Structure 1
Amino acid sequence: MLWETPFGHYYGDNRENNGNYFANDISNFYEELIKKCNFRIGEGFYVNILKNYLSILKEDSEYLYYFKIKPLISILECEQYLKLSPNKEVRDLYLECLNECSSLYNKYMNVAR
């Protein structure tokens, strides 16, 4: 095997077909992420959860607040697939949450340095 993909597949000396295999893997990976999005957003309930997360993230601007909400940040980081959500509201709320996480981390790092 010459190289490994992020999809868990390995490609070897079959250079003529490696591009086709890789394109197929990308397509399948994208479809899996969209399926995750659809399960996560379900009947639309997850929009309210994201709004709640955003509210929690904006609750406090103190740099130590970063440590209090690290578990929430961890949850959000595990849901990166939501960046591809076909639901624009979910996508926008998720990205806004990530921006708040980044802002809180930056506030902490400004003090820590």
Structure 2
Amino acid sequence: MGTIGSEQCKSGCGVERTLQVLDGKWATLVVRELMPGPKRFTELRSVLGMPSAKTLTDRLRALEHQGILTRTVHAEVPPRVVYELTGQGRSLNSVLMAMLAWGEENPAPVAVR
């Protein structure tokens, strides 16, 4: 596999598109947590370390708008809302696996005091 540089990857390339979807820590972690299957809002918030409800809601809406996940409201009292990856969202698994492999091969540097 070759390297990717600005000559090969002009504006709008796949790298930029992926970064638009996995925009920041929370979006990436939401996709990771939904890989095994659907989850409710409170389940997601709990496994993610309790981001603010607004932050999580914003990320979920953005991912839904991009076609990465679906939001299903079940007509119950109280309403039950479930988030699940679409086929497009599940296709990010290989990206996350590459990130996992890189992170395991390249541990964070030790902080200098």
TM-score normalised to structure 2 length: 0.28
Larger Rg: 1
The answer to which structure, 1 or 2, has the higher relative contact order (CA under 8 A, 6+ apart) is: 1
TM-score normalised to structure 1 length: 0.28
Q: Which has the higher strand share?
A: 2
